[in-house]
Amino acid sequence: MSSWKKAAKAGQKTHRERHQPESRQHLGLLEKKKDYKLRAQDYNEKQATLKLLKKRALNKNPDEFYFHMINSKMDKGVHREKEKKEEHTIDQIRLMETQDLKYISHKRHLEARQIEKLQSQLHMIDVANQTPNNHIFFVDDDEEAKNFDVAKRLETHPALLSRKTNRPKLSALKKVKLPELDEATIAKVEQQKHMAYTELRKRIERETGLTIVQQKLEMRRALKDRTLDKPKVIKQGSKTSAPVYKWKLQRKK
């Protein structure tokens, strides 16, 4: 019985899908049902998307505003982000146009060493203590508060009350032998200290500016690397900071 079934199945005719007639060979392959289903599905999805977009356009408020309106533009029917130009100071532009990365790095290293040297000498005591004194004293009555003497309570000289550091007591001052200095010498010392702090402030500003220029030049060099994909802009560069980019993680062989 089984051999009869095999023989009957072998004698059946194999039905195949109709091919493209010879007169229509120039039109390409004949579309089959599975091809039509895919084409119809794609067409219906596009029509549904167009219908939804038309509905959103009709319901849109003409007075609505969002920042992406001014940060993007239409390019050949596609929304693209506008490229923002980095902000630079005149000194930064001059350095980036005339000097290379090695020179900027060398100058920044020298400034950092000078700053470290000045900070070790000045200790930044007077700069760090710019906030006014806020010392609370408790008294028993109004009469004591009226006749209250801060220098007497702290047991120090009245000229030292404004200090937060190095404010010795009267007992310690009596044991110390102070050098005899005239007003001209004291004024000269104060002037030298003021000049030292001014130089330190300027060097810190110069070192900060060189650091920003170095970071911008390093970022420019990294963007010129054609072997990497174009990075995503996280933060645009400004006068006080370098731009921030995010590269796509790539596996290295």
> What pLDDT sits at residue 154?
76
Query: C-alpha angle 98/99/100, rounded to 5°?
Result: 135
Q: Strand, coil or helix: what is 233?
A: strand
- Residue 213 near residue 96 (C-beta atoms within 8 A): yes
Supply 184's token pair. 């001209």
Long-range contacts of 83-91 (CB under 8 A, 24+ apart): 84/236, 86/216, 86/236, 86/237, 86/238, 86/243, 87/237, 87/238, 87/239, 88/216, 88/237, 88/239, 89/209, 89/239, 91/209
The string of DSSP codes covering 44-74 is: HHHHHHHHHHHHHHHH--TT---THHHHEEE
Task: Tell how strand 72-75 and strand 78-81 pair up.
Answer: antiparallel
Tokens standing for 229? Answer: 């994909």
- pLDDT at residue 11, as a whole number: 66
pTM of the predicted structure, to 2 decimals: 0.46
Query: What is the predicted pLDDT for the residue at 132?
Result: 62
Q: What residue ranges of the chain have pLDDT lower than 70?
A: 1, 10-11, 67, 84-90, 123-133, 163-166, 178-181, 252-253
Report the 10 Å Cβ neighbour count for 229: 10
d(CA 110, CA 106): 6
The alpha carbon of 30 is separated from its chain's Cα centroid by a whole number of angstroms, namely: 58
